[in-house]
Amino acid sequence: MPTLRRRLSGLRVSGDTADEISEHHQSKIITFQKWCNDNCLCVNATKTECIIFNNSKKDIGDLKLHVDDQTIQNTDCFKYLGISLDSKLSFKAHCVNMLQKMSQRAYLIRRNRNIFTQYYTKIFCESLILSVANYCISIWGLNNSCFMEKCDRIIRSVIKNIIIPASNVNKKCKRQN
């Protein structure tokens, strides 16, 4: 039987307790599972995760949802279309991951800066570092001024230590020829 790889999204429910929310969602899952069975598809519970987006300080608890007598795992953070979403939508996990990628790529460019001209070094910086910073910035960038400062610091470091010295090296090479 083919497996449907799809997220159950748009199941928005309000309730005071996890049991009330679980009961409502479980009925939606049963309806979805019936539709899948009617269309010769199956739901893989091991690949299904549940997250509660909640910005209040009150902890609701974990939901107890099941698919074919298998429990759906509760999670605090998951990656969707390259963005790490957490239960508070603070995007901290996404920003930490993004800063790590930018630092690793800056090191890669810094290590190989003498091989390429300033023109190609700039292209590599834009494609490897700025692409990471700019991806979905309109979603995660508004909430994270601290991470934006760290991101700017990495970009300034790249400009100062990689692009500008590369232009000085290229000038020296041209003078020697």
Distance CA 138, CA 62 (A): 30
In a domain, 100, yes or no: yes
Give the model confidence (pLDDT) of 116-151 as tens digits: 888 888 888 888 888 888 888 777 777 667 777 888
Q: Of 88, 83, 95, 31, nearest to 59 (Cα)?
A: 88
Average pLDDT over residues 102-115: 86
Q: Of 84, 83, 80, 14, nearest to 52 (Cα)?
A: 14
Are 155 and 164 in contact by the 8 Å Cβ rule? The answer is no
Q: What is the pLDDT of residue 2?
A: 42
Q: Which of 75, 104, 123 is the last residue of a domain?
A: 75
CA 131 to chain centre: 14
Report whether pLDDT(5) > 50.
Answer: no
Average pLDDT over residues 94-110: 88
Average pLDDT over residues 3-16: 51
Q: Which amino acid is at 85?
A: L
Residue range of the domain that includes 44: 18-75
Give the model confidence (pLDDT) of 40-52 as tens digits: 988 887 888 888 7
In a domain, 8, yes or no: no
Higher pLDDT, 64 or 100: 100
Confidence of residue 59 (pLDDT cuts 50, 70, 90): low
Report whether pLDDT(30) > 60.
Answer: yes
Q: What is the pLDDT of residue 13?
A: 60
For 57, the token pair is: 């300080």
Average pLDDT over residues 48-76: 77
Q: What is the pLDDT of residue 7?
A: 45
Confidence of residue 68 (pLDDT cuts 50, 70, 90): confident
Number of folded domains in the chain?
2
Q: Which of 35-39, 82-86, 99-103, 140-144 has the lowest mean pLDDT?
A: 140-144
SS (H, E, C) 27-50: HHHHHHHHHHHHCCCECCHHHCEE
Pair 88, 161 in one domain:
yes
Pair 56, 30 in one domain:
yes
Q: What is the pLDDT of residue 114?
A: 81
Mean pLDDT of all residues in the chain?
Answer: 76
Site of tokens 């999670």: 75
In a domain, 127, yes or no: yes
In a domain, 5, yes or no: no
Are 75 and 49 in contact by the 8 Å Cβ rule? The answer is yes
**pTM of this structure:** 0.65
